[in-house]
Chain A
Amino acid sequence: MTVNVNRYKCGYCGACVGVCPVGALELVETWIEVNNTCTNCGVCAKICPVGALVVVK
């Protein structure tokens, strides 16, 4: 279970990291990393200001 980050769209603002309930996301300077604790809840994808995240079903 994971989310895909569109790196060409992402503005590396960290908002998604702040809402992830399980801490699966990390903003490393200019890119987002997703670890294997992601539960596919979709909260990060919902709030991303530019729509750079897509939950992988």
Chain B
Amino acid sequence: MKNRYDVIVVGAGPAGSITAKTAASGGLDVLLIEKRQEIGDPVRCAEGVGKEDLKKHIEPDPRWIAAEVKGSKILSPDGTEIKMSEEASSGKAGYTLERKVFDRALAQQAAMAGAEVMVKTRATGLLRSNGKVTGINAMYMGETHEIKANIVIGADGVESKVGRWGGIDTSLKPVDIDTCAQFLVSNIDAGEYSMFYLGEKYTPGGYVWIFPKGKHTANVGLGLLGSKSGNVRAITLLENFLKNYMPHAKILEMVVGGVPVSGPIKQTVTDGLMLVGDAARQSDPLTGGGIINGMNAGKMAGEVCIKAKEIGDYSVKTLKEYEDKWRATIGIELSKSLKVKNLLVKLTDEQLNQLAHSLKGVDTSKMALPVLLLILFKKNPKILWELRTLFV
């Protein structure tokens, strides 16, 4: 470890590793720190990603692909099935990853691009001078260090502190977080589709997912809107789901976690500081997916680091380009998803069934979500009236 870098990235998840890799590839002196002693472990993810989105960042490698899925199936509370996103036309079919291996592979890419990587190293605060962020306080193996940098990247996930230390309030309200539990189960027929079960009878304001990780294993989990948690817990609902619907499943692993579902937050950059991924609350409010958004944001942030170094300015004036870029892309999608989520959590099981029934006779199997939503809207304008602005 040196005492000065161009860029320090805090957190070696997908967002942090891609930021570090991008900046290091541009010739910058980069330090990537991770507080855990093993990158990627323990997992807090259902590990589902779209194939094409992923390929933009990294060549798929069997070492971190647990399974390929043909598409998705959404099940309404009465069991009506909506098949979607099959590969042939949309190219949207996906993978279930092995994130322990995947996250490490991304960090390795950052290392190969020239970044220095330190594990068991936790940021504990920010260095400031004249109001600007100028580095971090870090702890490695019980020893404290001051490390300077022109830019600090907060890629520190749902538990992000970096933004708050820099004066950006990223704290989530209960209604802005999905509280989740998941088991990796075996002794089941996992099928070839990512499955989503909707309905109050499973979980209030969320869904149950079953993502195949092999022929007989799958990630089975559920999310519950934080505002509805307290008297019921994600873990209890999940235990009930397994008991009622998958009585033969054997549990091999437990995962718990929170996903930000706030939609775009007001600020993600300040002088000498940028936030990426879950730290910037860039996970999708509807699906809870955050891997691809985090990687895309990381790329944008890494590129802006290179530019800032070229012109020698690390103030908001230069870093704002990152914020503008992600808002114009990821941000727009987040806002749309937030609208759909806000409506979905209000629908009764009966209304969800009605929506599913309205698709009878329609071949949705190749459709992506936006197209499917438009058709649903046309067929059910009353139930979905709130979404009309999405389609103009």
Q: Which residues of A are at the interface with B, using a C-beta cutoff of 8 A?
A: 11-21, 23, 26-29, 43, 45-51
Contacts and interface: CB of A to CB of B under 8 A. Distances in A.
Given A12-B42, A15-B177, A15-B258, 7 more contacts: A18-B172, A19-B174, A29-B36, A43-B173, A46-B174, A47-B258, A51-B233
B254 A48 contact: no
B171 A46 contact: no
A50 B233 contact: yes
Interface stretch (B143-151, B159-167, B332-340, B364-372): B159-167
Given A21-B171, A49-B181, A15 B233 contact: no
B73 interface: no
A50 B25 CA distance: 41
Contact of A11 (B159, B164, B172, B256): B256
Nearest to A50: B235
A14 B258 contact: yes
6 contacts: A14-B44, A15-B257, A18-B158, A29-B35, A43-B174, A50-B234
Contacts of B171: 18-21, 23
A17 B258 CA distance: 10
Interface residues of B, number: 35
A46 B158 contact: no
Interface in B101-155: 120, 122
A16 B257 CA distance: 9
B247 interface: no
A48 B179 CA distance: 7
Interface string B240-256: 00000000000000111
Nearest to B173: A19
A18 B256 CA distance: 14
A15 B180 CA distance: 9
Contact of A13 (B37, B122, B224, B258): B258
B35 A15 contact: no
B202 to A, nearest CB: 15
B40 interface: no
Given A20-B171, A21-B171, A28-B35, A46 B226 contact: yes
B145 to A, nearest CB: 16
B44 A13 contact: yes
B256 A13 contact: yes
A14 B257 contact: yes
